Structure 1
């Protein structure tokens, strides 16, 4: 970089190899040094470092660039990857002499991280993870070792592809990413609702297939044995798993029970039900 003019020389152009380095860092370290105060700020700056080093040869300028990104940042890790690419493009313009205040860079990050988090949580964390798990768990329940292997391989491959693609798309769009039609409130609302419905369908299927809850309670009337489970099945098959999932959801959603507390509760109920021959 010409320090007098502030122009980035042609040899210092950001290449696909540089963006690949950024993608690898973000994929593996997106929650490194995570904390409650600024969450993913260190991971963001660390991931962007290959680009910043190429743009800012002067140590003082590099230090200022890193400090600029040591502010609060938090979004969904895979679907939110275009933000890093867009910021890399903005940093390139800033290093080339464009008058872009630090507050503007951080305002763009803040404006993007919320919408991408909303879409990412619905698409990746809920829908895609649940779909991949449904296939893997089905194999694992049958004793097939390829169940967990399939999940890890499929998840890692898909996460890498989407992360790398997202960073490249974000870099090409730059600041225009914030004006993308995909990020309008109407689109986000439609996408999140649709994906939430898909996620519920998948979770419902998983609950019916993998939550095994039955009762051995029975009684004899006029020398004829009747089981409670047969009555429940005639009313609605898998009604006990449905009721249990509903109770777990209620305790988590409205009573703020943690996952560990719900797990302990499930173990205790299972033990008591087995000892008392109820479940």
Structure 2
């Protein structure tokens, strides 16, 4: 309750609305470039509508949050609270760097998810499931009920207080970051982190392995094309496909068309026995 002592009545009303809206955040998935963005915008609408008075300012804030976002449910509300505080500061200070809001979101996704995934999926859910299963083995329906209570009560409380924590510490956090020059560093590092994430995702998720073989005349040996591609540059085809997709997106080609084209290409190469 101490987190709410310095909040005004309007702040509390706004954060309550953000809290209930935030449960829908992970329900929206709108493609590779706007993952969960619709849910984030819906969650932050009470903040945007309160602090920005003109339609142009509100539209600018909405567009700012159309970027990719993904963090562990329940604890990701800390980021929403912090962002809400930064949006308030941005509406009051003309010298505030609005790009830092997106930078903070991007830089905190990894650390927040690291903590959240470990606790919620690796500890809380396992403990709750273990207790629930042991009770269910006796034939009691209480096993399922106990599991749901042991998991959801802590999750609900953390989801609630994470939002207020982020909003309450936001003002001091922003001031310290600006005074120390850390905001510029954070903005730069978040850009680097984004590039590293894209590179890691490309290496992990874009796969290509051809089964083409070329017979050597006068010999029983065959040349495997994939071996020569690996000698030339491991992952050269996936990298080329990624660069091509990125180039098409830069040319304003619809992301759905790019995804459909890659799917059709994969099916054709599979039917032709190339990969």
The answer to whether the superposition gives a TM-score over 0.5 is yes
The runs of at least 4 consecutive aligned structure 1 residues that moved more than 3 Å come to 175-180
Q: Distance in 1 between matches of 2:161 and 2:14?
A: 13
Contact map agreement 2:80 2:166 (CA 8 A) in 1:
yes
The aligned counterpart of 2:27 is 32
3-state secondary structure, aligned to 1:15? helix
Pick from 119, 123, 131: which aligns with 2:119?
123
Pairing 1:141–2:137 present: yes
Q: Is the 8 A contact 2:90 2:98 kept in 1?
A: no
CA distance in structure 2 between the aligned counterparts of 1:82 and 1:108, rounded to whole angstroms: 11
Provide the C-alpha distance between the structure 2 equivalents of 1:105 and 1:125, rounded to a whole number of angstroms: 28
Q: How does 1:49-198 map to 2 (within 5 A)?
A: 49-174=45-170
> How much does 1:156 deviate?
2.6
For the structure 1 residues 176 and 107, does the alpha-carbon distance in structure 2 shift closer, same or farther, using more than 3 Å as the test? farther
- Give TM-score, length-normalised by structure 2: 0.56
Conserved in 1, the CA contact under 8 Å of 2:25 and 2:36?
Answer: yes
**Residue 26 of structure 2: SS of its match in structure 1?**
coil
SS at match of 1:130: helix
CA distance in 2, matches of 1:175, 1:111: 18
Q: Residues of 1 paired with 2:47 and 2:170: CA distance?
A: 14
CA distance in 1, matches of 2:16, 2:105: 20
The CA deviation at 1:14 is: 4.6
3-state secondary structure, aligned to 1:151: helix
Deviations 1:155-207, CA, capped at 9 Å, x for gaps:
33222210110010100111655889xxxxxxxxxxxxxxxxxxxxxxxxxxx
CA contact (8 A) 2:30 2:38 kept: no
Please give the root-mean-square deviation of Cα atoms over the aligned residues, in Å: 2.2
Question: How far did residue 76 of structure 1 move?
Answer: 0.8
Given the superposition, is the C-alpha separation of residues 98 and 126 from structure 1 closer, same or farther in structure 2, using an over 3 Å criterion?
farther
Label 1:122 to 1:177 Cα distance change in 2 as closer, same or farther (>3 A): farther
> Aligned in 2, Cα 1:143/1:36: closer, same or farther, shift over 3 Å?
farther
CA distance in 1, matches of 2:173, 2:159: 16
Against the structure 1 CA distance between its residues 149 and 19, is the aligned structure 2 distance closer, same or farther, given a 3 Å change threshold? same
Structure 2 unaligned segments of length 5 or more: list them.
1-7, 178-275
Gapped regions of structure 1 (runs ≥ 5): 1-11, 181-279
Pick aligned residue for 1:45 from 11, 26, 41: 41
How many residues are treated as equivalent by the alignment?
168
Write the distance in 2 (CA, Å) between the matches of 1:13 and 1:65: 23
Distance 1:14 1:73, change over 3 A: farther
Pair 155,142 (structure 1): closer, same or farther in 2 beyond 3 Å: same
Distance apart, 1:130 and its partner CA: 0.8
Instruction: Answer whether contact 2:90 2:96 (CA < 8 A) is retained.
Output: yes
Check whether the contact 1:170–1:177 (CA below 8 A) recurs between aligned residues. Answer: no
CA distance in 2 between partners of 1:133 and 1:154 (Å) = 9
Deviations 1:86-115 (A, max 9, x none): 000000011113422332111111111111
In the alignment, is the contact (CA less than 8 A) between 2:35 and 2:69 conserved in 1?
A: yes
From the superposition, tell whether residues 98 and 151 of structure 1 become closer, same or farther in structure 2 (CA, over 3 Å).
farther
